[in-house]
């Protein structure tokens, strides 16, 4: 291990590394930093022209994190967290992207990152336990370890609607927004979708456009963000106590976000007390609305109390009762689709220049040169914004041709849904690590907390291997089967599978319905990962020349 090596002969020279990292988002950046710390040679390949992952691509109007900025930031360097000053309670996309760039510069990461570089395929060579990675254009590189830091929501999905190519105006997807921005002044804009991205962007677009027509298939529960500029006192309070806040996020909070830990179920309180609790959380704003009680994700009757409260708030906010009714979700428990956080979303439907079109029973049948057709009616548009989401958690893997042992492709292996051990490795794909992969808390948690936990675990694992001269590590089939069963069992003890959500792969036609993330919570998950490592990487087979351990 150490320096990248060139192997040459009659073949074009091939660059060899200890590790190749795919993706320069928050996962890839920190992974590179940790590998450098181990003295390993590593190269990051990133398809975008800059670092930042999600925050590089999602530049749509109103894009903002739904986790508070002081909590949505790295903890690995105290110097970094002391010197970086967040300006708002929830950082906007531009500020988060500046932060990612600051991290890349501050830790001198750029010299090992290749931008504008698409990874086409990755193939495991069983003879020498190395991965050969082919880049767009044909260049090949090899590494002992492959780290897939490809993000959970990185494969923007455009619906296949007849006539789309004939549309005369401009077409956008929130997940791949033009860098130069878009001026909607004077335009009639159609927005398709009402998930988090739409809910954030619609109020901002409506401020600018002549008219906005929102095409809604399923209404969403949304809680006011209540964003504001952070005061000097708030910043100081965090800066002085980061160590303890970070510890709590890691060790005590199921979702990695520090807040009060609920001690009661929703039905253990009187109606008045419960109303006061929800009122307080609604007024405070943010994701912690869903942690008001400890059984909202578990007990339908408890969940109904929170869902009723939000429906009532929508009814009080939206002036036209027919529009309010369409905006009130009724077909799934609150929180079982990702809860949204908004600024003036429901208020926006009181504007004269905003129309809501319900397409639940009349899907968009066609796009014409002039607009969008549903229910036999054409809605004229000058521009269309698709806020239609992502092929979540598996989509970014599927676009790379990944081949493990015996030429098995990851696409084949995951045909019936992703299978991993701990969301970290896949049986049959040795020396390949996933950061926040399917089967890990990932999207159900504060992503930065989960990313740091995974990257730290992987780094420790690589250090362990180096000390023991291990050439190959692989999840055993038994351990993977056990983990997949556990992930499903935990999910099915909750209300989550009751929603047709992207958590279940339900937003992609033909995608298997499998609950993708691990819902056991960060502290429990972390304890399992640590225990696995402490027991000589239980459930992993480690090989030198000869197999040295294979514990199930
Ligand atoms: O995508 P989504 P998103 N015709 O999949 C609709 C994170 N995020 O980009 O629900 C008509 O949630 C679809 O309808 P339905 C966050 O984790 C975070 O908004 O499938 N409509 C739905 O309304 C979030 O959950 C932040 O019936 C179609 C919408 O499009 C995740 O990213 C901000 C359709 C897609 O919603 C994804 O959010 C933004 C069709 N053919 C995102 N196909 C923050 O941090 C799909 N839809 C704040």
Say if residue 543's pLDDT is above 50: yes
CB of residue 396 inside a 6 A radius of ligand 1: no
Per-residue confidence (pLDDT) for residue 549, from 0 to 100: 47
Let me know: does 376 contact 347? Beta carbons within 8 Å.
no
Contacts of 19 (CB under 8 A, 6+ apart): 35, 40, 41, 42, 43, 143, 144, 145, 146, 147, 462
pLDDT band at 544 (very low <50, low <70, confident <90, very high): confident
pLDDT, mean of residues 1-13: 52
DSSP-derived secondary structure for 218-266: S---EEE----BPPHHHHHHHHHHHHHHHHHHHHT-TTS--SPPP-S-G
Compute the distance from residue 490 Cα to the ligand 1 centre, in Å.
24
Does the CB atom of residue 491 touch ligand 1 within 6 A? no
Each residue's pLDDT tens digit, 140-155:
999 999 999 999 999 9
| Average pLDDT of the segment spanning 250-272 | 96
For ligand 1, whether the C-beta of 367 sits within 6 Å is: no
Residue 548: pLDDT above 60?
Answer: no
Identify which has the larger pLDDT, 12 or 203: 203
Give residue 175 CA to ligand 1 midpoint distance, Å: 10
The two structure tokens encoding residue 546: 């000869």
Distance from first CA to last CA of the chain, Å, rounded?
Answer: 29
HEC letters along 75-86:
CCCHHHHHHCCC
DSSP letter at 156?
B
433-458 residues labelled b (16+ CB within 10 A) or e (exposed): bbbbbbbbbbbbbbbbbbbbbbbbbb
Mean pLDDT of the chain: 95
**Could you tell me if the CB of 217 is within 6 A of ligand 1?**
yes
**Ligand 1 close to Cβ of residue 159 (< 6 A):** yes
d(CA 63, ligand 1 centre) in Å: 13
Using pLDDT thresholds of 50, 70 and 90, give the confidence band for residue 337: very high
Contact in structure between 472 and 542 (CB atoms under 8 Å): yes
Quote the CA–CA distance of 98 and 83 in Å, as a whole number: 14
The yes-or-no verdict on residue 368 having pLDDT over 60 is yes
Is there an atom of ligand 1 within 6 Å of 358 CB? no
pTM of this prediction?
0.96
Does any ligand 1 atom lie closer than 6 A to the CB of residue 389?
Answer: yes
**What is the 228 CA–ligand 1 centroid distance (Å)?**
25
* Higher-scoring residue by pLDDT: 14, 308: 308
Does ligand 1 come within 6 angstroms of the Cβ of 195? yes
Specify the residue with its C-alpha closest to ligand 1, atom 7. Answer: 196
Mean pLDDT of 414-423: 96
65 lines ligand 1 (CB under 6 A): yes
Residue 430 confidence (pLDDT) above 80? yes
Question: What is the Å distance from ligand 1's center to 152 Cα?
Answer: 13
Residues 489-520 pLDDT 10s: 999 999 999 999 999 999 988 898 889 999 99
- Quick one: pLDDT at residue 408? 96
Query: pLDDT digits over 50-63, tens only?
Result: 999 999 999 999 99
Question: How many angstroms does the Cα of residue 487 sit away from the middle of ligand 1?
Answer: 24
Whether 225 and 343 have beta carbons less than 8 Å apart is answered as yes
Tell me what the mean pLDDT of segment 179-205 comes to.
Answer: 98
CA of 543 to the centre of ligand 1 (A): 43
Residue range 383-407: mean pLDDT, rounded: 96
pLDDT for res 9? 46
Name the closest-CA residue to atom 8, ligand 1: 196
DSSP strand pairing (547-550 vs 211-216): unpaired
Say if ligand 1 is within 6 A of residue 455 CB. Answer: no
Average pLDDT over residues 168-174: 98
Pocket flag, ligand 1, residue 388 (CB < 6 Å): yes
Q: Judging by DSSP bridges, how do beta strands 14-22 and 42-45 pair with one another? A: parallel
- Is the pLDDT score of 545 beyond 70? no
Ligand 1: residue whose CA is nearest its atom 12: 195
Q: What is the mean pLDDT of residues 382-406?
A: 96
| CB-count exposure of residue 274 (10 Å: 0-12, 13-18, 19+) | buried
Give 248 Cα–ligand 1 centroid separation in angstroms: 30
Look at ligand 1, atom 15, and give the residue with the nearest C-alpha.
218
125 CA distance to ligand 1 centroid (A)?
38
Q: Whose CA is nearest to atom 39 of ligand 1?
A: 197
Going from the Cα of 491 to the center of ligand 1, the distance in angstroms, rounded, reads: 21
> Which of 26, 256, 389, 509 gets mutated to test ligand 1 (max ligand atoms within 8 A of its CB)?
389
- Ligand 1 atom 40 nearest Cα: 159
Q: With bands split at pLDDT 50, 70 and 90, how would you rate the model's confidence at 12?
A: low
Tell the residue nearest (CA) to atom 3 of ligand 1: 389
Would you state the pLDDT for residue 11?
54
Q: Is the CB of 335 under 6 A from ligand 1?
A: no
- pLDDT for 509 equals 87
Indicate if ligand 1 lies below 6 Å from the C-beta of 61. no
408 C-alpha to ligand 1 centroid (Å): 32
Give the per-residue SS3 of 107-119.
CCCHHHEECCCCE
Residue 550 has pLDDT above 90, yes or no: no
Query: What average pLDDT score do residues 234-252 get?
Result: 96
- Which residue's CA is the nearest one to ligand 1's atom 37? 389
Q: What is the pLDDT of residue 415?
A: 93
pLDDT digits (tens, 9 = 90+) for 436-452: 999 999 999 999 999 99
% of residues, the chain, pLDDT over 90: 94
Ligand 1 within 6 A of CB of 174: yes
Q: Which tokens go with 405?
A: 């042992």
What percent of the chain has pLDDT above 70?
A: 96
CA geometry: angle 110, 112, 115, nearest 5 deg: 70
């Amino acid at each position: 291990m150490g320096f990248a090596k060139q192997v040459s002969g009659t073949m074009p020279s091939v660059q060899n590394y200890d590790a190749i990292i795919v993706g320069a988002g928050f996962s890839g950046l920190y992974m590179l930093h940790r590998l450098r710390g181990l003295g390993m040679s590593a190269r990051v390949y990133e398809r975008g022209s800059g670092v930042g992952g999600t925050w590089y691509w999602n530049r749509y109007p109103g894009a903002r994190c739904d986790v508070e900025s002081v909590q949505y930031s790295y903890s690995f360097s105290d110097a970094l967290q002391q010197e970086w000053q967040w300006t708002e309670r929830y950082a906007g996309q531009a500020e988060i992207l500046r932060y990612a760039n600051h991290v890349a510069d501050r830790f001198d990461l750029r010299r090992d990152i290749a931008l504008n570089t698409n990874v086409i395929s990755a193939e495991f060579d069983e003879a020498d336990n190395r991965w050969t990675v082919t880049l767009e254009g044909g260049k090949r590189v090899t590494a002992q370890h492959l780290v897939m830091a490809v993000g959970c929501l990185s494969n923007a999905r455009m619906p296949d609607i007849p006539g789309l190519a004939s549309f005369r105006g401009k077409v956008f997807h929130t997940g791949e927004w033009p860098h130069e921005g878009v001026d909607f002044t004077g335009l009639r804009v159609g927005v398709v979708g009402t998930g988090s991205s739409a809910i954030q962007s619609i109020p901002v677009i409506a401020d600018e456009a002549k008219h906005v027509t929102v095409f809604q298939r399923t209404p969403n529960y949304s809680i006011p963000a209540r964003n504001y500029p952070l005061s000097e006192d708030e910043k100081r309070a965090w800066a002085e106590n980061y160590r303890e806040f970070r510890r709590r996020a890691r060790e005590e909070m199921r979702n990695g976000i520090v807040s009060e830990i609920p001690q009661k179920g929703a039905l253990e309180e009187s109606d008045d007390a419960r109303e006061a609790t929800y009122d307080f959380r609604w007024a405070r704003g943010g994701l912690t609305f869903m942690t008001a009680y400890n059984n909202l994700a578990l007990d339908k009757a408890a969940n109904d109390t929170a869902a009723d409260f939000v429906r009532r708030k929508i009814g009080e906010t939206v002036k036209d009762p027919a529009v309010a009714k369409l905006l009130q979700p009724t077909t799934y428990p609150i929180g079982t689709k990702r809860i949204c956080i908004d600024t003036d979303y429901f208020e926006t439907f009181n504007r004269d220049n905003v129309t809501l079109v319900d397409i639940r029973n009349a899907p968009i049948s066609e796009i014409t040169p002039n607009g969008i057709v549903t229910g036999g009616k054409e809605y004229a548009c000058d521009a269309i914004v698709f806020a239609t989401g992502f092929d979540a958690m598996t989509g970014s893997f599927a676009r790379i041709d990944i081949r493990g042992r015996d030429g098995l492709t990851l696409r084949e292996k995951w045909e019936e849904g992703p299978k991993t051990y701990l969301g970290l490795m896949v049986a049959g794909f040795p020396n390949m690590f996933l950061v926040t992969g399917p089967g890990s808390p990932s999207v159900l948690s504060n992503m930065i907390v989960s990313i740091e936990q995974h990257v730290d675990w992987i780094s420790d694992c690589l250090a362990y291997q180096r000390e023991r001269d291990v050439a190959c590590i692989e999840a055993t089939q038994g351990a993977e089967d056990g983990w997949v069963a556990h992930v499903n069992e935990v999910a099915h003890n909750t209300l989550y599978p009751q929603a047709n959500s992207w958590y279940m792969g339900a937003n992609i036609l033909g995608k298997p319905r499998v609950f993708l993330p691990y819902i056991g919570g960060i502290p429990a998950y972390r304890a399992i990962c640590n225990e696995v490592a402490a027991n000589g990487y239980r459930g992993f087979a480690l090989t030198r020349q000869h197999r040295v351990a294979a514990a199930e």
